[in-house]
Structures are given as structure tokens and as C-alpha cells.
Amino acid sequence: MAFRYLEVSRFFGNMDGLLRAQFAYPGVTFRHTVAPSTRMPFNIHPLSLELADVDSIYNLGVTDAAAEVKASATEDITHYYSLKKKRDSRLKGGVSFEKFLEMKQNGEFE
């Protein structure tokens, strides 16, 4: 449970960082949000990774960035998490991101 908690906590911490950056720089358009799609190689001493591990991390970044550019939803993601952070009543009951997109398309978040 501790590892799962750390994963979820890290994700929401990153989303909070993105929201803070958007509030701090209102004139900047954040078009892409890129995150690893799979687990990356890990070493307790990050500078001790093997060359193959570094190459796989680099290739994962290139692949994830290309996929994000193809299907960017940064504006929707930040809108969703900003509403969740504000505890918006329309998202009560565990509304998923997919359901949020459906609700947004129906004009519920104008």
C-alpha cells in the first residue's frame, strides 16, 4: 500500500505543480503534458544507471512526447484537476476523466 500511495501522491503532486505553473504564468499556453507511460528503470543512485537504462529512459521520453503531440489534452487535464482540487460539486461521486470529458462536451462546465 505504501508504494501505491507514493505513486498516487507523486501524480497529484505533479498535477499540482502544473496548476501552480499555469497560475504563475497566465500568459503562457501549456500545450503538452508528458508523463512516462511505463515504469522507468530505477537505481537508488541515479548517476549509477547502466547505459542501456539511460537509453531506454531516453527512448521512452521520445515515444511519450510523440504520442502526446498526436493527442494533446493538456487543457482538459488541467481543467479537470483544478476542479477536483477546488472540490467542485459536479465532480462528486468519483467522476472519471473520461466522464468529465463527456460532461464537458455536453456543456456542463461552461
Cα(108)–Cα(60) distance, integer angstroms: 36
Place of cell 496548476: 19
Return the percentage of the chain with pLDDT > 70, whole number.
95
13 is a domain residue: yes
Instruction: Decide which of 102 and 41 is more confident.
Output: 102
Range of the domain at 97: 2-105
Number of folded domains that form the chain: 1
E strands of the chain, at which residues? Answer: none
42 is a domain residue: yes
93 is a domain residue: yes
User: Considering the entire predicted model, what is its pTM?
Assistant: 0.46
Q: Report the pLDDT averaged over residues 31-57.
A: 82
Predicted local distance difference test score (pLDDT) of residue 22 = 86
110 is a domain residue: no
Cα(37)–Cα(110) distance, integer angstroms: 31
Cα(93)–Cα(87) distance, integer angstroms: 11
Host H or E run for residue 109: none
Q: Report the pLDDT averaged over residues 44-67.
A: 86
pLDDT at 73 over 80: no
pLDDT at 64 over 70: yes
